[in-house]
Amino acid sequence: MMSGSDATRTSARRRRWWAEVGWKYPLAALVIFYAAFPLAYVLSASLAPSGTLTGSTSLFREISGQNFTALGDTRFWQWAANSMVIGVSVVVGAVLMGAAAAYAFSRFRFTGRRLSLTSLLIVQMFPQMLAFIAIFLLLITLGSVVPALGLNSKIALVCVYLGGALGSNTFLMYGFFNTIPRELDEAAKIDGATHAQTYWTIILRLVTPILAVVALLTFVATFGDFILARVILTSEQNWTLAVGMYAWVSDQLNANWGLFAAGAVIASLPILALFLFLQKYIVGGLTAGSVKG
């Protein structure tokens, strides 16, 4: 039999556990539910042969691969290829340009350095879509001289994305570059290494975590962008997934939500794969940095 004092202590421990730790479990379950339910609903809609969401009263009541098969009769895979080409191009360009600019701001002292950093900080406060009218007019004028950089050009869209990504990525990388000891640069210089050799062989290997973060954020933003892609890409064969899939549901009378859901499920796979691939670099780089420190 438990004495009265033991029961009181046990009750006190339970109340303390609920006050410090226990309340987190119901909250975590609620957050997971709200995060997982939309995903489960989209997956259920993609497997429903009806092609609509209005009649769905239960998840996974009907399971069929009809919507996924129907994607082959559309331009889905062409749009997916366009999105991948544009996304990868923007990621490579944004990482290279942002890292080079951040290295210059972090290691060199030159006239206008502080003003340039302040300008980058101010510019990144405004979303790029605010300038889409100016971008549209600029591309019309530029396209009359260089058609490859005008409207309906994937190269022009990549250039527009790179222009917007340079400011935010540079300022983000700049803070991480400052954490790398300058003694490494001085030691490499004593050994006869140039700035380029120091940058490519030493610095970039140490800033892998921030490169992975920038690559992931840039790809997600580019892959899912709709406004700029819709404004610049006018022909259906050049559309990205965001623009093309929107056309399936833009008409309320002929909206095919089942096809849209199937496309959304497949479109999420590249982002998921990239996150899983870069996760080890982010975690491994941070762990290595803490051990070295």
Q: Does residue 71 lie within any of the structural domains?
A: no
CA separation for the pair 242, 221 (Å, rounded): 11
Residue numbers of the domain that contains 108: 76-292
Q: Which of 12, 38, 64 is the last residue of a domain?
A: 64
Q: Into how many domains does the chain fold?
A: 2
Task: Give residue 168's pLDDT.
Answer: 73
CA separation for the pair 118, 202 (Å, rounded): 28
Q: Which of 64, 84, 104 is the last residue of a domain?
A: 64
* pLDDT tens, position by position, 166-218: 777 888 888 888 888 888 888 888 888 888 888 898 888 888 888 998 899 89
Q: Are residues 141 and 266 in the same domain?
A: yes
Q: Does residue 206 lie within any of the structural domains?
A: yes
Q: Are residues 22 and 139 in the same domain?
A: no
Task: Give residue 57's pLDDT.
Answer: 59
Q: Are residues 81 and 209 in the same domain?
A: yes
Task: Give residue 91's pLDDT.
Answer: 94
10-24, 63-77, 275-289: segment of lowest average pLDDT: 275-289
Q: Are residues 149 and 52 in the same domain?
A: no
Q: Are residues 279 and 143 in the same domain?
A: yes
CA separation for the pair 292, 27 (Å, rounded): 37
Q: Are residues 48 and 108 in the same domain?
A: no
Share of the chain above pLDDT 70, in %: 90
Q: Are residues 9 and 101 in the same domain?
A: no
* pLDDT tens, position by position, 26-39: 888 899 988 888 88
Residue 174's H or E segment, with its range, is helix 154-177
How confident is the model over 60-78, as a mean pLDDT? 87
Q: Does residue 233 lie within any of the structural domains?
A: yes
Task: Give residue 238's pLDDT.
Answer: 93
Q: Are residues 130 and 55 in the same domain?
A: no
CA separation for the pair 243, 230 (Å, rounded): 6
Q: Are residues 145 and 208 in the same domain?
A: yes
Residue 85 reports pLDDT greater than 60 = yes
Residue 181: closest CA among 245, 107, 109, 111: 107
CA separation for the pair 234, 239 (Å, rounded): 7
Q: Does residue 69 lie within any of the structural domains?
A: no
Q: Which of 17, 38, 64 is the last residue of a domain?
A: 64
Q: Are residues 147 and 227 in the same domain?
A: yes
Which residues are CB-contacts of 63 (< 8 A; sequence separation ≥ 6)? Answer: 47, 48
Q: Are residues 58 and 165 in the same domain?
A: no
The larger pLDDT score, comparing residue 110 to residue 220, is at 220
Q: Are residues 203 and 98 in the same domain?
A: yes
Torsion from C-alpha of 215, 221, 222, 224, nearest 10 degrees: 130
Which residues are CB-contacts of 157 (< 8 A; sequence separation ≥ 6)? Answer: 86, 228, 229, 232, 233
CATH assignment at residue 217: 1.10.3720.10
Average pLDDT over the chain, rounded to an integer: 84
CA 48 centroid distance within chain: 29
How confident is the model over 249-265, as a mean pLDDT? 83
Q: Does residue 142 lie within any of the structural domains?
A: yes
Which residues are CB-contacts of 140 (< 8 A; sequence separation ≥ 6)? Answer: 150, 151
Confidence of residue 13 (pLDDT cuts 50, 70, 90): confident
The b/e string for 3-42 (b: 16+ C-beta within 10 A; e otherwise) is: eeeeeeeeeeeeeeeeeeeeeeeeeeeeeeeeeeeeeeeb
